[in-house]
Copies of this chain bind each other. A is one copy, B any other.
Amino acid sequence: MKVTFTDGKEITVLENESLHDAFKRQEVYITASCGGKGTCGKCRVRIVNGDYKCRSYGKISQEDRNRDIVLACQTFAEGDLLVDIPVESRLSVGDKIAISRSKDLIELLKTYQATISPLITKTPLRLPPPTIDDNISDLERLRRELDTREIELRYSKDFVSRMPDDLRKFDWNVTLCYQDDSAEALFLEPAEAKGTRYGISVDIGTTTVVLYLIDMANGDVMDVASTYNSQMRYGDDVITRIVHATEGGGLNDLRKAVVTDINDLISPLTARHEIEPRHIESIVISGNTTMTHLFWGFNPAHIREAPYIPAVNYFPVWKASETGIRTGKNTPVYTVPCVASYVGGDIVSGVIATMMHRNPEISLFMDIGTNGEIVIGNNDWMMTVACSAGPCFEGSGIKYGMRATDGAIESIRIDPETYETEIKVIGETKPLGICGSGMIDAISEMFLAGILDQRGKFVRETASSRIREGEDGTEFVIYHNEKGDIVLTQVDIENIVRAKAAVYAGVSLLLKEVGFTLDMIEKVYIAGGFGNYLNVERAILIGMLPDIPKERFQFRGNTSIAGAYLCLLSKDMRREAEDVASRMTYIELSAKGGFMDEFMSAMFLPHTDMEQFPTVQTLLEKKRS
Contacts and interface: CB of A to CB of B under 8 A. Distances in A.
Given A157-B318, A297-B161, A298-B161, A586 B307 contact: no
Contact of A588 (B135, B138, B154, B341): B135
A415 interface: no
8 tightest A-B contacts by CB? Answer: A139-B312, A132-B591, A137-B313, A164-B311, A137-B310, A132-B307, A130-B309, A157-B318
Contact of A312 (B137, B301, B308): B137
B340 A135 contact: yes
B306 A132 contact: yes
Contacts of A312: 137-140, 160
A314 interface: yes
A302 interface: yes
Residue among A155, A157, A316, A318 having the largest count of chain B Cβ atoms under 10 Å: A157
Nearest to A306: B132
Give the interface SS of chain A, mostly helix, strand, loop or mixed: loop
Using C-beta atoms within 8 Å of the partner chain, give the interface range for chain A: 35 or more
Given A298-B161, A299-B165, A136 B313 contact: yes
Interface string A146-160: 000000001111001
B310 A138 contact: yes
A248 to B, nearest CB: 15
A296 interface: yes
A358 to B, nearest CB: 25
Nearest to A129: B307
B164 A131 contact: no
Number of copies: 2
A522 interface: no
Nearest to A314: B140
17 contacts: A135-B307, A135-B309, A135-B588, A136-B309, A137-B338, A138-B302, A138-B310, A139-B311, A139-B313, A140-B312, A157-B316, A160-B296, A161-B296, A161-B297, A164-B299, A164-B302, A165-B299
B298 A586 contact: no
Contacts of A298: 160-161, 164
A138 B132 CA distance: 53
A131 B307 contact: yes
Nearest to A322: B157
A311 B137 contact: yes
A307 B322 CA distance: 38
Interface in A316-333: 316, 318, 322
A119 to B, nearest CB: 16
A301 B138 CA distance: 13
Contacts of A155: 316
Contacts of A307: 130-132, 135
